[in-house]
């Protein structure tokens, strides 16, 4: 089969005058998303790496990007992550077979390693459904009440934290997202259609850069990987 990657990078803050969107924050002298792109382009089996930008993105053009014909940009981002992914899939699905594997990966997960993605391709390429990278939950989880007191302790056995890439066949994923536009990740849309995505063990280094203080942690992880 064929393998493509899709990177939603149309997150808020990309409008003129807004603060730096997180995918363009500086990480070791490069925008966060550049590290994400480099890791994905290093996976040889990925035929195309699609980047989804907001139609009014003013940042992308300010940087240099790898001169690799496998890197393609779509300016079709929407109001939510799911909408950005849905619009991109509808466009790409016109040009590739329905059984093409699509690895949807957050721009902000810049510490993804090509080795982990390769492992995911090995684990899932014969799978009837597909799946996602995830890590077992290590902490005890509490549900809070409205007063900020513990209402319930949730047993952590069998609980996993979902990451990306989330890898599904483009035809099934497009249909699932069209039927369930409210989801926050691709796996949820597949689950809502009755599919059971496989969890592929990952590690904590593939975290989502969300707060400014995450940049120092990401720099340490990427720095260590280079040594």
Residues at the contact surface with ligand C5P, assessed by CB under 6 A: 8-11, 23, 52, 77-81, 84, 106-108, 208
Q: Which is nearer to ligand C5P, 80 or 161 (CB)?
A: 80
From CA 144, how far away is CA 173, in angstroms rounded?
Answer: 34
From CA 127, how far away is CA 108, in angstroms rounded?
Answer: 27
Least gap, CB of 186 to ligand C5P (angstroms): 11
Least gap, CB of 204 to ligand C5P (angstroms): 17
Least gap, CB of 53 to ligand C5P (angstroms): 8
Q: Which is nearer to ligand C5P, 84 or 163 (CB)?
A: 84
DSSP characters over 22-91: GGGSEETTEEHHHHHHHHHHT-TTEEEEEEE--TT--SGGGS-----TTEEEE----SSHHHHHHHHHHH
Residues 6+ apart with CB under 8 A from 204: 135
Least gap, CB of 98 to ligand C5P (angstroms): 23
Least gap, CB of 84 to ligand C5P (angstroms): 4
How many other CB atoms sit within 10 Å of the CB of residue 222? 19
Shortest Cβ contact with ligand C5P: which residue? Answer: 11
Q: Which is nearer to ligand C5P, 44 or 182 (CB)?
A: 182
Distance linking the first and last C-alpha atoms of the chain: 34
HSE, CB side, 13 Å, CA atoms: give it for residue 172: 25
Q: Which is nearer to ligand C5P, 11 or 131 (CB)?
A: 11
Q: Which is nearer to ligand C5P, 123 or 135 (CB)?
A: 135
């Amino acid at each position: 089969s064929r393998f493509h990657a899709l990177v939603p990078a149309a997150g808020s803050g990309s409008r003129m005058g807004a603060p730096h969107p997180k995918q363009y924050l500086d990480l070791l002298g490069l925008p966060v998303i550049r590290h994400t792109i480099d890791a994905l382009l290093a996976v040889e089996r990925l035929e195309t790496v699609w980047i989804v930008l907001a139609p009014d993105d003013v940042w992308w053009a300010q940087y240099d990007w790898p001169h690799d014909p496998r890197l393609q940009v779509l300016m079709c981002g929407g109001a939510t992550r799911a909408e950005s992914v849905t619009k991109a899939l509808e466009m790409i699905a016109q040009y590739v077979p329905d059984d093409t594997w699509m690895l949807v990966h957050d721009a902000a997960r810049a510490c993804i390693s090509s080795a982990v993605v390769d492992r995911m391709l090995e684990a899932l390429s014969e799978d009837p459904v597909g799946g996602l990278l995830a890590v077992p939950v290590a902490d005890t989880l509490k549900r809070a009440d409205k007063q900020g007191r513990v209402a319930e302790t949730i047993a952590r056995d069998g609980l996993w934290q979902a990451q990306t890439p989330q890898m599904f066949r483009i035809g099934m994923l497009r249909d699932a997202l069209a039927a369930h536009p409210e989801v926050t990740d691709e796996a949820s849309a597949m689950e809502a259609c009755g599919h059971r995505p496989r969890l592929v063990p990952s590690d904590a280094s593939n975290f989502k850069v969300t707060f400014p203080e995450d940049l120092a942690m990401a720099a340490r992880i990427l720095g260590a990987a280079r040594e």
